[in-house]
Structure 1
């Protein structure tokens, strides 16, 4: 399967609606700055050298906008093919709904887009410049969209993305770390760094980064996430998918880099995410209010109901054991002081699992029910792996 064939599978996606509304609802053919050209009434995504085509469309000034007391609804926006979307805004709160026309035919029902509940530390330079937003939503190949916003959001912008495969995506192995020497690791009594694919394997555009890495004093937790895309992607699709997340996090959200420290795919491959050195305690932007003593690992896929396969579990265990080596028993809980999330106020002392799911710290369903139910097994296997190497 190709990256352009990724399909969204969320239980809250409602029944399909019917056909296209009247032609009067289609956005008029005009030229806009950040949105790029409009040709024959269709907004064109801009082709970028990093392999992610993108369209950033300010919503508040669209022709044909239907304004209401509590917000607005856009007309139907005809576009090139896109496979992921998000909405950002400068400030304010409210609900964002959208529907899109699938390339295979038919419209989705109106769907509430999940609010972004991860990000950089609110008081950091990165956090101050960050925009409020929805999560990046993977739609599958689509060619039109309509958005509805209710609340007091200011400066809303629709981001449409289409990640493309690049030739180098089929040969990522040249950027793989050396296999760990397990004998030496046991002699030293330390958990080895698992084999991983360095950042060069997914070819991020360095110009999109803004700022230098920050580091934590120590690692006490591993936060587990999922990326909510389809689960049947191919090996060569993964670099493009990570590049799309990277562009959304940096260009659209204003973060300094991709938020996750590591990502794990369904084939059991571990990918380096945020820059700063995989062996170091790099501070990520993955778990709002709890980045300061943790590592964030994203499982690539949708695990609200999808099955978590053994290769992914093994990879999660290996990275968790490596990062938590010397931090105590991963089956126990730790007390962590929140730096401010939508669930725990700034300064509150919270007892959390050493290996937890994103839902433990923020108001979200992440990392999905299936993966969350697998976390007790991940904790047990992580503890066993640490003991294995500590014994020598």
Structure 2
């Protein structure tokens, strides 16, 4: 397969967006090396049972990558809501590529598709900076009184990563309250640059909505490896927006995902501190003890059947609710310290 050959998989632009994408059936042809239009993210989706093995390799500037396992996505909306019944892998960030090959094994799956996404580049991608912001997303330099609750950390709002509101399928749903914080990782690359983060978020957003049929990006908040906090799902970061991050446990929680894979890599101290600050802020709004446990009722996950009563940490890892390695061993190991630090932060600002 030569780079001079015409692409066999062509990406097309989404109207009014820098994002280009392609979804093609996985056939005997796509199981052989394919020349593609430029892309940086890929995923696989299907209906029915999960394949037993999902692997891919991509071709970048230095040639073909080694074969990589595509992790099955264990995030998701509550059963029966905002879903077209499609299952999928995590959206995998591979960086600039122009070739792909997939290897899928197993039985019971159907309508298997390969998704390729080029999130494009916006002028604002390289200049996004988190700052003290108001609810409208505008930075404020006014002197404010000392907070009487754990303050909201600096946030980068949806406009900063180029969220196209026309992709949303419906309207936000709000929970009655908040009882838990679920911590995730995205099981993808750890080597992205600062300027690539908005593009990664645009790609995830396109995959969650157009490919899986979700209402919006699944996570309420995303933390990058530089410690920046991004607003994910729409509906207002201060409000108890229901996400699509923890199948069976979205109905009284918030989802914080860290961009990267922490099975073999340790999260930076900046990442941990930002997760602490987000968790403390959201939990203090609802008077929850960050270091405690809570009894919750499953709406149905691959670990706990619908109606099961479960006692879980107020700040837990995705693996506590679903059959997954998320948020990775090294990030999961930091959760006890995150709970302690989050509660200390709440206590620091408690006026009582």
TM over 0.5: yes
| 8 A contact 2:161–2:198 mirrored in 1 | yes
Aligned to 1:265: 224
**Matched residues in 1 for 2:311 and 2:157: separation?**
33
Aligned to 1:43: 9
Classify 1:232/1:346 alpha carbon distance in 2 versus 1 (closer, same or farther; 3 Å). Answer: same
Aligned to 2:322: 362
**Structure 1, unaligned stretches of length 5 or more?**
1-19, 24-38, 66-72
Aligned to 1:98: 55
1:172 maps to which of 123, 128, 132: 128
**Matched residues in 1 for 2:103 and 2:143: separation?**
53
| 8 A contact 2:56–2:70 mirrored in 1 | no
Aligned to 1:89: 46
Deviates more, 1:137-146 or 1:201-210: 137-146
Aligned residue pair count:
340
Deviation per CA, 1:80-110: give whole Å up to 9, x if none.
333221111233333242232432123523x
Deviation per CA, 1:186-225: give whole Å up to 9, x if none.
3xxx222222111111111111111100000010100011
**Matched residues in 2 for 1:106 and 1:93: separation?**
27
**Matched residues in 2 for 1:297 and 1:180: separation?**
29
Q: Report the Cα offset of residue 336 of structure 1.
A: 0.8
| 8 A contact 1:177–1:198 mirrored in 2 | no
Classify 1:389/1:107 alpha carbon distance in 2 versus 1 (closer, same or farther; 3 Å). Answer: closer
Aligned to 1:237: 196
Aligned to 2:23: 56
Classify 1:310/1:178 alpha carbon distance in 2 versus 1 (closer, same or farther; 3 Å). Answer: farther
Aligned to 1:77: 34
The structure carrying a bigger helix percent of its residues is 1
Matches within 5 A, 1:1-392: 40=6, 42-48=8-14, 49-59=16-26, 62=27, 64=28, 74-103=31-60, 104-109=62-67, 111-124=68-81, 126-127=82-83, 129-142=84-97, 143-173=99-129, 175=137, 177-178=139-140, 183-186=145-148, 190-325=149-284, 326-391=286-351
Q: Report the Cα offset of residue 354 of structure 1.
A: 0.7
**Matched residues in 1 for 2:202 and 2:7: separation?**
28
Structure 2 residue matching 1:154: 3-state secondary structure? strand
TM-score (norm 2): 0.89
Deviation per CA, 1:287-336: give whole Å up to 9, x if none.
00000010000111221121211221111111101111143321121111
Classify 1:223/1:181 alpha carbon distance in 2 versus 1 (closer, same or farther; 3 Å). Answer: farther
**Matched residues in 2 for 1:314 and 1:251: separation?**
33
RMSD of the TM alignment (CA)?
2.3
**Structure 2, unaligned stretches of length 5 or more?**
132-136
Larger gyration radius, structure 1 or structure 2: 1
Deviation per CA, 1:244-299: give whole Å up to 9, x if none.
10000000000010000011112221111101011100000000000001000011
**Matched residues in 2 for 1:339 and 1:277: separation?**
24
Structure 1 residue matching 2:279: 3-state secondary structure? helix
**Matched residues in 2 for 1:372 and 1:121: separation?**
23
TM-score (norm 1): 0.81
Deviation per CA, 1:127-176: give whole Å up to 9, x if none.
4x241112212334441213324212121111012222211223334955
